[in-house]
Structure 1
């Protein structure tokens, strides 16, 4: 009898089906990058918006900053490398940021002609 009980336990484990992962529903609304660009554009600061001030603005717009801290930092660095934002102080995700000036030639080429 002692031999039958352990043999039955592995059989149950073998018949167990793997659980399917259900993904969380995607939040509606603008992405973090769009919120960051909008916050920097609304700013009246001449030297740019600091990262902590940016996070305060995002928190007021309903973003959970403590959970999205890593995503905010990576979004800011990506926006700087893309050229959407320019970094006035600091390195990486720290410092102050403002909208990058676009060349008039680039602005004319990006507008649709009709």
Structure 2
């Protein structure tokens, strides 16, 4: 987490906990920093404007790994597959910015959960 992100109220552990709690509440097993085939990846970039406003770009990706046969290879290869992605950009005062980013990421996780449940019906 960059110094600007921290100054804007963002906290790595708080974001990880919020996202993990959403997944756990939905019935998914959460294993932090593991090498599972399917995983949630959150990317966050933050900067501060001259007037002190915080601006963040945030993305949530659901990835898995699969084998694929490529035309130029004799053997299958392991590839990373993006199953779902949501992203956004937000700006706010430093005092409210961390909570706003966490809410946005939680809403993305909720959407992923809904899409997975709908696909399994």
Q: TM-score, normalised by structure 1?
A: 0.24
- The structure richer in strand per residue is 2
Q: Which has the higher contact order (CA 8 A, sep 6+)?
A: 2
